[in-house]
Structure 1
Amino acid sequence: MGKKIAVILGSPDPDSFCRALADRYAESAEQAGNEVRYFRLGEIEFDPVLRHGYNRRQELEPGLRDIQSAITWSEHVVLVFPVWWGSMPAIMKGMFDRLFLPGYAFKYRENSQLWDKLLVGRSAHVITTMDTPPWYFRLVYRNPAHNQIRRTILEFVGIKPVEITVLGPVRGASDGKRQTWLDRVSAFARKT
């Protein structure tokens, strides 16, 4: 029996290469016998701004409730997004701001700086694209998007291990190179 996988596309552009990658991952994972729930953030209406921080409850829109339910249900979370300005697109960060709240994703301990990780038992695969050469992003910029998603978001709430795949530079990549990347993502999905 396959795994329960939540796939989340964090690019708002319906014609992006990230969309092609996420579509391919979801399709290949299903063909391999996994159960997949797939979300395209650009097609979901929600306010990405956590208006009052943790001081006041902000009701989740139906699309966010569906994503939260899928993450709770899942054994494996797949995130696909482009790296823009060294980080994830605002729509994806907004999803995390709105969903990964105290009481759902983590819980601060009373009279302590420590917290309990409430999403333990799930793994993740993060697939990012970028126009910067990956070696330059790693050596010069020191992987800010990858450190953020792995350490300060996913591992913070207990999702571990987190595998990260970097595809790039996308700008100027040939059709053959893009096909190689799509095939690579297909292979990942079949092995999940």
Structure 2
Amino acid sequence: MSNVLILNGNPKSSEKQKSLSHSFADTYEIEARETAQVRRFNLADMVFNPSLEQGYDEIQPLEPCLVEFQESLMWADHIVIVSSTWWGGLPAKMKGLIDRVFIPGVTFKFEGDDPHPVQLMKGKTARILLTMDMPEEFVEDQAAPVLGQLSTFTLEFCGVSPVRTSLFGSVIMSDDSQKAQWLEQVSVLGKKLT
């Protein structure tokens, strides 16, 4: 049985109204639980300092939610990250989670003078689901910086491969029918664990 980690990386609280990211995470989780063990995190519920205060010069103790997330990251065979795209980038708290958790000695390390990292997350796969308000013809352009950062320079840098992506937009201009189609796409991904 596979181990699946799902992160709803939208920092918006779901107490009043669920974000589309939250609905995507719910849908993927429901399907994945049929064939896998699943651990789920909602960024909005995680309380931590998003700033890597000393860079890598000193060890910054992890808050309990980050310890649990980091352990789940290493436990997972498949990582699902659902995030909104704000101003062509990740929400600040989501970027802070990456800075605090993807650290040397845990997700990668360097040996000697070799500039190439030892990838400590090999054997894992990932799916990134990005939502944005850009019209459909612009979603790839808006997503490119996020995918460069999250897919290439974080997950793949640490050894995760393949990293597959799904882009959804424009959320703000979508109607219920469009959202239902997107949720069906996510449901299929959850069933296949891709």
TM-score (norm 1): 0.94
- The size of the alignment, in residue pairs, is 189
Query: Which piece of structure 1 moves more, 10-19 or 53-62?
Result: 10-19
User: Percentage identity across aligned positions?
Assistant: 34
Q: CA distance change for structure 1 residues 178 and 119 in 2, over 3 Å: closer, same or farther?
A: same
Q: Which runs of 5+ in 2 are unaligned?
A: none
Aligned mates of 1:112, 1:185 — CA distance in 2: 40
Equivalent pair of 2:130/2:143 in contact (CA under 8 Å)? no
How far does residue 77 in structure 1 lie from its aligned partner after superposition?
0.1
- 1:105 maps to 2:104: no
Q: Does 1:18 align with 2:17?
A: no
Give the conservation status (yes or no) of the 8 Å contact 2:125–2:161.
yes
Aligned match of 2:45: 43
Distance 2:143 2:168 in 1: 16
Match of 2:4 in 1: 5
Report the Cα offset of residue 137 of structure 1. 3.6
Q: Which amino acid aligns with 1:11?
A: N
The aligned counterpart of 1:188 is 189
Instruction: Determine the C-alpha separation between the residues in 1 that align with 2:175 and 2:66.
Output: 36
Q: 1:22 to 1:116 in 2, by over 3 A?
A: same
1:138: Cα distance to partner? Answer: 2.5
The corresponding residue for 2:145 is: 144
Question: Partner residue of 1:29?
Answer: 32
Distance 1:178 1:137 in 2: 16
Q: CA deviation at 1:12?
A: 1.1
- 1:99-147 per-position Cα deviation (integer Å, ceiling 9, x unaligned): 11100011012122221111111000000001112432435x5711112
TM-score normalized by the length of structure 2: 0.93
Evaluate the alpha carbon distance shift between residue 180 and residue 67 of structure 1 in structure 2; reply closer, same or farther with a 3 A threshold.
Answer: same
Shift of 1:183: 1.2
Cα root mean square deviation, aligned: 1.2
Distance 1:112 1:191 in 2: 38
Amino acid paired to 2:2 = K
Structure 2 match to 1:135: 137
- Are positions 1:117 and 2:119 aligned together? yes
CA distance in 1, matches of 2:53, 2:149: 21
CA distance in 1: counterparts of 2:165 and 2:155, whole angstroms: 12
Q: Do the aligned partners of residues 84 and 102 (structure 1) sit closer, same or farther apart at CA in structure 2, a change above 3 Å counting?
A: same
- Displaced runs of 4 or more, over 6 A: none
